Amino acid sequence: MSDRLVLALPSKGRLMEQCSDMLARAGLVVGKSGSARGYKGEIAGLPLVEVNFVSASEIAQFLKTGAVHVGITGEDLLREAMADCDERVTFLRPCGFGHADVVVAVPAAWIDVRRMADLEEMAIGFRRVHGRRVRVATKYMNLTRRFFAQKGVTGYRIVESLGATEGAPAAHLAELIVDITTTGATLRANGLKVLDDGVILESQANLVSSKLAAWSPALREAERELLARLAAA
Amino acid sequence: MVPRVPALRAAARRSRAAIPSPRARGEGEPPDPMPAEAAREVEALEAQAQRLMGTFMRAGYEQIAPAIIQPAGLFLDVVGEELRARTYVFTDPDGEELCLRPDLTVPTCRLHLERHPHGNVRARYCYSGPAFRYQAAGGDRTHPREFRQAGIESFAAADPDQDDAAVLALTIQALREAGLDDFQIRIGDLGLFGALLKAVPMPARWRRQLRHHFWRPEAFRAELARLTSKAALEARNVPPELVELPEGSPPEEAQLRLEAYLERSGLELVGTRTLAEIAERLLSEAADARETPLGPDIAALIESYAAAEAPAREAAARLEALIRPHRLDLAAALGAFKRRLALLEDAGVDMGAATFAAEFGRDLEYYTGFVFEIVSPRLGPASPIAGGGRYDELMADVGAPTPVPAVGSCIHTERLLAALERERP
């Protein structure tokens, strides 16, 4: 572990742009450094901070194990990566972007299924007719298991989906899905609706620190300064 | 090698919630304490397994060795998502989804079905071998992620109650012959609950619902509350043309009306679930609204039944007292319960200290009748040493053309060894 505060930022896409905009508004200019092919950087005026550019889901993993001190990533990815999220990380500050709800969505024509409780009842009949459990396509396996268990829904089976999850019901790969949505337009276009009590998490990008990273008083001070600069923006 | 330190014993003894909360752990920390694989421990486990298998085989059970690697799809469809979350699943180079068996009952059912495609053939099997379950906390001595089960499964017995008693009696005999003296027996009977529901006048689908939710007290109470409330049973969301459909109309008529409604509402049906299935549920909802809700006295009876706990020998009398004011006929199920107890006592099992709990069931959903668990006071109720029960629907779920009566039991051998070591330090 370095003696600097390691800040992990998303390495690509819209999330990366929004992060650098947010930092720029706080007067924090991230400069790429070294020969690490653009995956490392520094912030002018904060010599104790070292920036690592990694994918948003890796940031969640690194925060989980303490491989980085601070990072910006989606709450959905953090809560998916660890059941004991609040024991491992501290949410320092919501970023105000990267909004996405993790939801349970079923075919809109299932007018008999409106709530999670209906889903459990429907699952009993489905198994009787089809001889197998109703399938839920998702990349959020852990969030799905926890939420379904909390709602008393058990008669299902998860199939892992690594992309275009909203198409799984039409493709007969699953009967329903758990996925992220922002406006609901994609779900509607695929003939799906969100259950009345089917919002698992209202997620957005967050500045998060890891409780398991190697902290020193100097690094805590650097964390405070970073946070203060962002708060003042 | 796991050092025998007090801290470890305390960790093993601590009570665990259904989903244990993982300890915070960093990358650089040493691996978790796993079952000791030192030569001495392996020898002890093997000697113990031989003793257990000896007992089973002398009783006429045939030794089998089901495959450790199982097809994930079928296996996980049968056991449900709760165990799936703890099953190691992987894909082989052909892209086939496989798993490491999380228990040996389902593999034994598959083996029986391979030998006897009709399934309904008398057979008794015993096995001893590894099973694998993910432990969120990384595992400890009494909750290892890789453990050995020694067990028995008995199919298609002519007298199920007698077979229930025989399987529990043999399990206890095997534990005794392995050296375990100090243990407690806990029993339950899902057949009694089924009989209670059957005796109370209500639609068949309500029975199915209540039976289904029995494993989950919260959902069960919610469902019971719904069935007692006229307002909750109202079919608010059913299209009027379906509510108005006369009872006894052909199912095609309901489907036509539903199809017209969906089209008018601009809803396109995607996926595998059919119009017929949706129509059936909507009609049930409409029918529920026409039903008389369950009376509060009946709901109270069902709740107090679910909460009933008693010493095993007094359980039948307690339940009889509970139902007497309601004039319900549970004679057959209670008779079977009493007969099973008598058969157990005849087989030399002392039921004097055994406890009965109506709500007691294993967390695997496939049990359908008699269930039991053997607990050592040295390991506590969170780490039962053995458990089992009747699972009359599992063979059909695995692919048998008709249901096959079946009962089985298995011993968690690492726990048995741990309990024996604590019995004689």
Nearest chain A residue to B208, by CA? A124
Nearest residue in A to B97, CA atom:
A159
Q: What is the pLDDT of residue B278?
A: 94
A105 and A24, same domain (yes or no): no
CATH of the domain at B405: 3.30.930.10
Specify the pLDDT at position B11.
33
User: Domain range holding A20?
Assistant: 5-98+205-232
Residues B175 and B249 in one domain: no
β-strand pairing of A46-54 with A40-43: antiparallel
CA diameter of chain B: 76
Tell me how close the Cα of B178 comes to any Cα of chain A, in angstroms: 37
Model confidence over B408-424: pLDDT tens digits?
999 999 999 999 988 66
CB A145 within 8 A of CB B134: no
Band (A34; pLDDT cuts 50, 70, 90): low
- b/e map B150-177, b = 16+ CB within 10 Å: bbbbbbbbeebbebbbbbbbbbbbbbee
Query: Which pLDDT band, with edges at 50, 70 and 90, does B26 fall under?
Result: very low
The more confident residue out of A108 and B41 is A108
pLDDT (mean) for A92-99: 96
**In the prediction, which pLDDT does B83 show?**
76
Q: What average pLDDT does chain A have? A: 92
**Residues from chain B contacting residue A84 (CB–CB below 8 Å):** 21-22, 24
Residue A36 has pLDDT above 60, yes or no: no
For A210-228, the pLDDT digits (tens) are: 999 999 999 999 999 999 9
A109 plus A197 within the same structural domain: yes
Tell me the pLDDT band of B352, cut-offs 50, 70 and 90: very high
* pLDDT at B211 > cutoff 60: yes
Are residues B37 and B165 located together in one domain of the fold? Answer: yes
More confident: B211 or B216: B211
| % chain B with pLDDT above 90 | 61
Percent of chain B residues past pLDDT 70, beyond the cut: 89
Find all residues with CB under 8 Å of A219, minimum gap 6, and list them: A3, A4, A5, A48, A69
Look at the pTM and tell me if it is higher than 0.95. no
Residue B344 inside a domain? The answer is: no
In angstroms, the separation between the Cα of residue A52 and the nearest Cα of chain B is: 18
Q: Cβ–Cβ of A65/B216 closer than 8 Å? A: no
Domain count, chain B: 2
DSSP A166: G
Instruction: Summarize pLDDT for B66-111 with one digit per residue, the tens.
Output: 999 999 888 777 877 777 778 898 888 988 889 999 999 999 999 9
Size of interface A-B (CB pairs under 8 A): 111
Residue B140's pLDDT band, with cuts at 50, 70 and 90, is: confident
Q: Please, which pLDDT band fits residue B2 given cuts at 50, 70 and 90?
A: very low
- Residue B222 CA: distances (Å) to CA of A17, A165, B82, B171, B218: 47, 32, 21, 37, 6
**Distance separating alpha carbons of residues B394 and B401, to the nearest angstrom:** 11
Residue B244: give the domain boundaries: 240-290
Q: A63-67, B34-38, B184-188, B200-204 — which is least confidently predicted?
A: B34-38
Note whether A118 and A193 are same-domain residues: yes
Number of domains within chain A: 2
Average pLDDT over residues A113-141: 91
Interface membership of A169 toward B (CB under 8 Å): yes
Regarding whether A92 and A112 lie in a shared domain, the answer is: no
Is B164 within a domain? yes
Task: Determine contact, residues B177/B420, Cβ cutoff 8 Å.
Answer: no
How much is the pLDDT for A1? 46
Q: Is residue B193 part of a domain?
A: no
Shared-domain flag, residues B247 and B175: no
Is 50 exceeded by the pLDDT of residue B270? yes
Would the CB atoms of B24 and A87 count as touching at under 8 Å?
yes
Query: Touching check for A85 and chain B: CB below 8 Å?
Result: no
Put simply, whether A89 touches B (Cβ < 8 Å) is no
Q: What pLDDT score does A39 carry?
A: 86
Q: Interface pTM (ipTM) of the complex?
A: 0.86
CATH number at residue A187: 3.40.190.10
- Mean pLDDT, residues B366-371 taken together: 90
Which of these ranges, B50-54, B235-239, B256-260, has the smallest mean pLDDT? B235-239
- pLDDT higher than 70, residue B8: no
Same domain, B47 and B151: yes
**CB B200 within 8 Å of CB B328:** yes
pLDDT digits (tens, 9 = 90+) for B292-320: 999 999 999 999 998 899 999 999 999 99
pLDDT at B220 exceeding the cut of 50: yes
**B46: pLDDT strictly greater than 60:** yes
Mean pLDDT to the nearest integer, B363-391: 90
For residues B254 and B168, membership in a common domain is answered with: no
Which among B22, B77, B219 has CB closest to A152?
B219
**Domain shared by A94 and A110, yes or no:** no
Distance CA A132, CA B71 (A): 15
**Can you give the pLDDT at residue B363?**
57
**Are residue B42 and residue B121 in the same domain, yes or no?**
yes
Q: Which of A137-151, A187-201, B24-38, B130-144 has the lowest mean pLDDT?
A: B24-38
Q: Residue B49: CB partners within 8 Å, gap ≥ 6?
A: B128, B148, B150, B413
Do the chains contact at A126 and B273, CB–CB below 8 Å?
A: yes
Contact B82, B116 (CB under 8 A): no
The tens digit of pLDDT for each residue in A172-217 reads 999 999 999 999 999 999 999 999 999 999 999 999 999 999 999 9
**B281 → closest Cβ in A84, A125, A192:** A125
CA atoms of A110 and A117, how far apart (whole Å)? 14
| Confidence at residue B30, expressed as pLDDT on a 0 to 100 scale | 43
pLDDT in tens, A69-79: 999 999 999 99
Is B80 part of a structural domain of the chain? yes
What are the chain A neighbours of B212 within 8 Å (beta carbons)?
A: 120, 124, 155
Per-residue confidence band for B364, with pLDDT thresholds at 50, 70 and 90: low
Q: Are residues B63 and B156 in the same domain?
A: yes
Task: Let me know if residue B178 belongs to a domain.
Answer: yes
Note the pLDDT of residue B32.
45
**Residue from A114, A121, A175 whose CB has the most chain B CBs within 10 Å, to mutate:** A121
- Interatomic CA distance for residues A122 and A106, integer angstroms: 12
